[in-house]
Structure 1
Amino acid sequence: MSGSLWLPPGARPDTFPTIPKQRTTPSWAGPDPVDELAARLDDFVAAAVHPDEIAALLESDGLSDDQIRERYGVKNSFALAEELYERVPRRHPEPEAPPHDPWRASLLTCLLRGVVFALPGFAYVLAAAAPLPLLAGALTGWTWNQALAHRAYTWLGLGDERAAKRSLLRGAPTGVVLGTLVAWLASGTPDRSVAFAAGQSLYLGASTILLVRARERALLLALLPMATGAVVALFCGVPEVARLVLLLAPLTAVAILALLEVMPRGNADKGRGAVFNVRLPPRGRDQPQRTRSRKTTMGPPLSSSVPYALFGLATGTLVLHAALADTLTALILTLSMGPAEYLLHRLRSASTTALRSSTTPTAFRRAATRTLLHSLTTYLLTLLTLALTTGISPTPLLLLGTVLWTALLLQSFGAILSTTAICSVAALAQTFAPLTALTVYATTATPQAALACALLGKATAHR
């Protein structure tokens, strides 16, 4: 608590004795409850980089400010966290076994995902359909399936794999209907383009299921015949019947694989599921038991997925504008999503390591900022290499790549509302305002990069 004391004329502050911090707990009341709490939370408090980490743990344990005032004699959780932070010396002992890293990722798997993202583009070579219904259906699919993936991952984060499968099984067909309907409205007549848009919507829903379920290899094998046929069609004629088979066969295979992934399997799904974005350590014997909220047992609210849907719409619009200006730019961006995802995992893994090794908030902030700049630079160098190899203009590619990578970074740290608002404004500006693409990309990348640096410098954002 800071402030100033009134002093008589000529008096000096350093002549007064130091006033000890006042507490409401009397000295005769027995053992100090704050010391007892510090002993119970000793390992966690000793490893905390900032008192806010301790306050987050206290709040997650269900301690209200009234309970804290009654039990510990301080006004709120932040004051109690500061008390604990001062009483427990900083130490970061090395664990007996290597600590679990939830952000460890395989480079090969991430690169494979980038290839899987790009392969469906070959279908447009075989289809030769009108672009407007396809673009309308694609934007609808990206919007819907972004929200669907978020809901499924949230269920997995809660450890309920059965609920995740159920949400995918219900949500994917709904997305197919919506995408087809929007394409029909954009076309005006039920022509060939609408039929292709329906298949496109079916693929987007089925591939979302397979990607959430980490079945990238199965998806790649299903798409390879279509991609091979499209490459052949670029250099020589392919009969209409062969084009239809090359489109329908992979689509059928992807749909069947997705259906097999989400079909109920009795008791096999109980107790399974990945844990994503763990911010606090698991409860041990010496940590207070956390209350399970009613919201957790009921599942994530549907409204929590709306920002992710808008995020998919905004970023999809930016990529479509780039594709209309230069198809190769959009293809490179799509392929680069594999390395981008790997660098995001590496950044989060390095930040988790920095939490264990840093002893002050300033040291952690410096380490996190260095890691962020290194990861972003590596991604931009990857894009620059691809741009120079293919001969396209590197400036728009690098700027849009910065926008997309920082947007994904902010999304992974839970700043979905901020990045969705920024990207939505950019998409609207590029669609309706008389601004160049470079102006839109630059004015979007700057605030997102600044927000990412500010967010990653906080230790609590990585727990």
Structure 2
Amino acid sequence: MSGGLWMPAGARTDTLPTIPRQRTPGWAEPDPLDELAARLDDFIAAAVHPDEIAALLESDGLTDDRIRERYGVKNSFALAEELYDRVPRRYPEPRDPAPDPWRTSLLACLVRGVVFALPGFGYVLGAPLLAGPQGDFGLPAGTVPLLAAALFGWTWNQGLSHRAHTWLGLGDKPAARRTLLLGAPAGALLGALVALACAGTATLAAVAFAAGQSCYLAAATALLVMARERALLAALAPMTAGALLALVHPIPDAARIALLTASLTVVTLLGLREVAPLKGRGAVFDLRLPPRGRDKPRRTRSRSTAAGLPLSASLPYALFGLGSGVLVVYAALGDVLAGAEPSAVAAPSAVALTLSMGPAEWLLYRFRSGSLAGLRSAGTPRAFRRTTARELAVCLAAYLTALLALATATAALWPHAPTVDGVRLAGLLLLGVVIWTGLLLQSFGAVAGAALICVLAALAQTLALLTRNGGPHTVGVAVYGAAAVAQSALVCVLLGRATTHR
């Protein structure tokens, strides 16, 4: 003992007792906060509030005890604020390109355009069935019930396809199939009744041909809605081959009827197979009784599905189909309505418009894709409007170029086609503007305005022709021009708003 302090033998006198204290990182040991900030650098730099970082830390399983022990702060929120202050704000671009749901195959759209046009060969085969004395409007008697059934079919099936596509968008494929299974046969039956009511002096063969057209439109609608274009293309092959042969060599009427019946039967069976409730591959319909009581499977449906789809929601789409269909018919029959022979029907116009639906569909997707890119890149509403207007002008010009090329080609190849002059060409291109902008509005769900414009244009052209107020082509240019201006203005007003594209 010395100086009042007792020291054990062998103890050093130059050491102090150890006091527990928090370790501070030295130059040889990295700061754990720096390590964590470096590991979460991208996320922290893009965070707009420290609470986002705190949520990430908690999701990684960092408890407040571990945070206090390792980082020397009291909880996850304090650690998040520390990390938020250490890392400067920046918003790095994603490594992978942003998803674009509007990218689609040009080939698939062209196939759909060909599928839309191939039924026109059916009229080549069925021409003898439609022959006869002139009926109303200077057309062969069999043409009137055919056009009436076609217009009804375009109207009905446009509304039907909207309903089925809506169910598909809600994720309820069985409901879409039920809609087509009930609506397609009803449309075919009503179309046949319309043809019968408008028969007039037409022969029974012409009415039967119109009824077959109604059945085809119904079955083809089901196949197109269910994305079975290739099956429909294959089913139309016999009829197409027969029509091409009939253009260069006469074939008997019995062979014509057989080819038409074969393609119609195949298309109808394919449509029925696509929408019928299947149980396995062998049965078409399940005839067993549905389960009852506790054995009945429970189904969960969304609120939108449970509430059902009102019929009024599909009415604008049906009216758009009616209005645009009437305008196309007037464009095709302009020469006959002007007093020309029925053999000079301007079918190339209708064929060109039908074939152009393939490029039109692809350009609709192209516009949606370009507007989505503009929505991501534009910094101000004004810049977005400029981007949208430029994309709209490019897509519309591309469509009109394709329509012009198709119109020139079909007029050159079509037998006895009328001369394509400036008035006819202007009318066709203006009608193309009406159709394409109408489809564009329809793709955004703004079909009510397009339907109103097309229906009013069809009524105006009908009244002008009934009152003999100008020639058909001159009236067509005026009506199509006014409709094109009105619809283009509607497109610019609606699609210039960024909220429309969200």
TM-score range, shorter chain: 0.7 to 0.9
Shift, 1:384, TM fit? 2.1
1:414-425 alignment to 2 at 5 Å? 414-425=445-456
Summarize the Cα distance change of 1:456–1:257 in structure 2 as closer, same or farther, 3 Å threshold. same
Summarize the Cα distance change of 1:154–1:131 in structure 2 as closer, same or farther, 3 Å threshold. same
**Contact 1:318–1:427 (Cα < 8 Å) also in 2:** yes
- Partner residue of 1:173? 185
Q: Does 1:162 align with 2:174?
A: yes
- Partner residue of 1:114? 113
The residue type equivalent to 2:490 in the other structure is: L
Summarize the Cα distance change of 1:395–1:93 in structure 2 as closer, same or farther, 3 Å threshold. farther
Q: Does 1:242 align with 2:255?
A: yes
Q: Runs of 5+ in structure 1 lacking a partner?
A: 1-37, 43-89, 269-291
Q: Please, which of 234, 240, 257 is the counterpart of residue 221 of structure 1? A: 234
- Partner residue of 1:403? 434
Q: Does 1:368 align with 2:388?
A: yes
- Partner residue of 1:263? 276
Shift, 1:101, TM fit? 2.1
- Partner residue of 2:379? 359
Give aligned pairs, total: 356
Shift, 1:96, TM fit? 4.0
- Partner residue of 1:344? 364
**Contact 1:111–1:339 (Cα < 8 Å) also in 2:** yes
Q: Which whole-Å CA distance do the structure 1 matches of 2:278 and 2:99 have between them?
A: 29
Summarize the Cα distance change of 1:156–1:41 in structure 2 as closer, same or farther, 3 Å threshold. farther
Q: Runs of 5+ in structure 2 lacking a partner?
A: 1-47, 53-88, 131-141, 282-300, 335-345, 413-419
Q: Deviations over 1:271-317 (max 9, x none)?
A: xxxxxxxxxxxxxxxxxxxxx98444323211100111111000000
Shift, 1:122, TM fit? 1.0
Q: Deviations over 1:204-231 (max 9, x none)?
A: 0000011111111111111122112112
Q: Which whole-Å CA distance do the structure 2 matches of 1:294 and 1:370 have between them?
A: 39
Secondary structure at 1:187 match in 2: coil
- Partner residue of 2:333? 324
Moved more, 343-352 or 228-237: 228-237
**Contact 2:348–2:407 (Cα < 8 Å) also in 1:** no
The residue type equivalent to 1:450 in the other structure is: A
Shift, 1:267, TM fit? 10
- Partner residue of 2:31? none
Shift, 1:92, TM fit? 7.0
**Contact 1:152–1:165 (Cα < 8 Å) also in 2:** yes
User: Percent of counterpart pairs with the same letter?
Assistant: 58
Q: Which whole-Å CA distance do the structure 2 matches of 1:117 and 1:41 have between them?
A: 55
- Partner residue of 2:285? none
Q: Does 1:461 align with 2:500?
A: yes
**Contact 1:184–1:190 (Cα < 8 Å) also in 2:** no
**Contact 2:355–2:406 (Cα < 8 Å) also in 1:** no
Q: Which whole-Å CA distance do the structure 2 matches of 1:94 and 1:187 have between them?
A: 65
The residue type equivalent to 1:239 in the other structure is: P
Q: Deviations over 1:98-154 (max 9, x none)?
A: 333221211001111111111101111111221011000000100000000000000
Secondary structure at 2:227 match in 1: coil
Q: Please, which of 153, 156, 159 is the counterpart of residue 144 of structure 1? A: 156
Q: Which whole-Å CA distance do the structure 2 matches of 1:138 and 1:446 have between them?
A: 28
- Partner residue of 1:314? 323
The residue type equivalent to 2:389 in the other structure is: T
Q: Please, which of 162, 184, 198 is the counterpart of residue 211 of structure 2? A: 198
More relative contact order, 1 or 2 (CA 8 Å, 6+ apart): 1
Q: Deviations over 1:345-382 (max 9, x none)?
A: 01001111111111211111111111000000111111
**Contact 2:103–2:369 (Cα < 8 Å) also in 1:** yes
1:440-451 alignment to 2 at 5 Å? 440-451=479-490
1:25-174 alignment to 2 at 5 Å? 94-128=93-127, 129=130, 130-174=142-186
Q: Which whole-Å CA distance do the structure 1 matches of 2:96 and 2:169 have between them?
A: 24
**Contact 1:92–1:356 (Cα < 8 Å) also in 2:** no
Shift, 1:416, TM fit? 0.9
Shift, 1:95, TM fit? 3.3
**Contact 2:374–2:384 (Cα < 8 Å) also in 1:** yes
Compare CA radii of gyration and give the structure with the larger one: 2
**Contact 1:137–1:180 (Cα < 8 Å) also in 2:** yes
